[in-house]
């Protein structure tokens, strides 16, 4: 959908945010328009990080905003924890959390909308269907949905404050003798992230218009095999692909994750990433601390059973 808009005289800050506010669209749709090179200011291609110029004429081609996920009553849904104002469900690998385009189905949010229709109106971006956080396509485990807008805001505020406990289990290539933490900032570039392990690397990314975000990944060995280690991983931040990028940076990529680990990450018989969101703990909107836990899926347990012992 081609649009032409003149930024208000009060516009300030980044261009992508000013455009989203002026158009009344979700930032994801505007972000995609920038990624496709479909935004021009005074006839010249613009970047999302450019400063918003008050009164500037902006031309862009933006996708129609997706509405709430259509209910799919026949879609399977495994509920981990249910409460009056939220629900935690178990996402299988290979299923997206929510639709990205109008009419898209087959996502977790479509299944949630059928059983908990109120979730569809809980999130500010309707297409999210009440989802408070997301997992990568090939990552399984706990996903939190709010059942009303106030609950979504309260739960999302905890994510921003880093008070939500997020624990994963990951099988990685190689043997780790001890745990630790990786805190390299991460910058998004296309469909992946790039780590900035030192100040020089961070400066290079900034020079390319990329902004590294703070990220912390704590890990500890849970079980060792001949050529792999099963880790318990805890994150306080939520940068895209954070765990995968940090563990690959350490030289121990997630098994099955060839995007970040290359051939070293391949494991015969594993058709997905060995990364599972095992636990979420947070303050319930109704009051009190709650925790939801998801066991390893059977296909991942089967992988562990085939590995030679350490």
- Give the per-residue pLDDT at 206: 84
Residue 203, pLDDT above cutoff 90? no
- Give the per-residue pLDDT at 18: 85
Average pLDDT for the chain: 91
pLDDT digits (tens, 9 = 90+) for 123-165: 998 889 999 999 999 999 999 999 999 999 999 999 999 999 9
- Give the per-residue pLDDT at 66: 66
Query: From CA 282, how far away is CA 125, in angstroms rounded?
Result: 22
Task: Report the half-sphere exposure of 42 (CA within 13 A, side-chain side).
Answer: 5
Residue 9, pLDDT above cutoff 80? yes
Query: From CA 51, how far away is CA 12, in angstroms rounded?
Result: 7
Least confident stretch, 11-25, 137-151, 210-224, 248-262: 11-25
pLDDT digits (tens, 9 = 90+) for 65-119: 667 999 999 999 999 999 999 999 999 999 999 987 777 889 999 999 999 999 9
**DSSP at 144:** E
Residue in 136, 203, 257, 283 annotated catalytic: 136
Active site residue 283: no
pLDDT digits (tens, 9 = 90+) for 228-243: 999 999 998 989 999 9
- Give the per-residue pLDDT at 26: 65
255 versus 192: the higher-pLDDT residue is 255
Contact partners, residue 169, CB within 8 Å, separation at least 6? 222, 230, 231, 232, 233, 275, 276, 278, 296
pLDDT band of residue 64 (cuts 50, 70, 90) is low
Contact partners, residue 178, CB within 8 Å, separation at least 6? 220, 221
Domains along the chain with CATH numbers: 2-61 (3.10.290.10), 66-161 (3.30.2350.10), 168-276+301-306 (3.30.2350.10)
């Amino acid at each position: 959908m081609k649009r032409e808009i003149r930024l208000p005289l009060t516009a300030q800050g980044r261009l992508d945010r000013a455009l989203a506010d002026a158009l009344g669209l979700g930032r994801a749709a505007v972000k995609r328009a920038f990624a496709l090179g479909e935004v021009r200011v005074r006839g010249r291609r613009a970047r999302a990080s450019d400063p918003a110029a008050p009164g500037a004429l902006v031309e862009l081609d933006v996708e129609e905003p997706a509405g709430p996920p259509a209910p799919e009553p026949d879609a399977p849904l495994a509920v981990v924890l249910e409460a009056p104002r939220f629900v935690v469900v178990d996402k299988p690998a290979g299923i997206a959390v929510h639709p990205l385009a109008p009419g898209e189905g087959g996502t977790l949010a479509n299944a949630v909308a059928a059983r908990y229709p109120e979730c569809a109106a809980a999130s500010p971006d309707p297409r999210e269907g009440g989802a408070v956080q997301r997992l990568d396509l090939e990552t399984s485990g706990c996903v939190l949905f709010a059942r009303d807008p106030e609950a979504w805001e309260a739960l999302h505020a905890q994510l921003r404050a880093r008070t939500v406990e997020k624990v994963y289990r990951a099988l990685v290539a190689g043997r780790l003798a001890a745990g630790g933490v990786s805190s390299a900032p991460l910058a998004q570039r296309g469909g992946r992230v790039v780590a900035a392990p030192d100040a020089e690397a961070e400066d290079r990314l900034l020079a390319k218009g990329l902004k590294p975000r703070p990220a912390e990944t704590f890990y500890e060995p849970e079980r060792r095999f001949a050529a792999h280690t099963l880790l318990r991983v805890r994150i306080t931040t939520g940068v895209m692909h954070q765990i995968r990028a940090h563990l690959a940076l350490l030289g121990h990529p997630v098994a099955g994750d060839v995007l970040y680990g290359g051939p070293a990450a391949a494991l015969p018989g594993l058709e997905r990433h060995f990364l599972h969101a095992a636990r979420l703990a947070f303050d319930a909107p109704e009051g009190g601390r709650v925790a939801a836990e998801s066991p390893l899926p059977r296909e991942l347990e089967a992988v562990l059973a085939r590995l030679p012992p350490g």
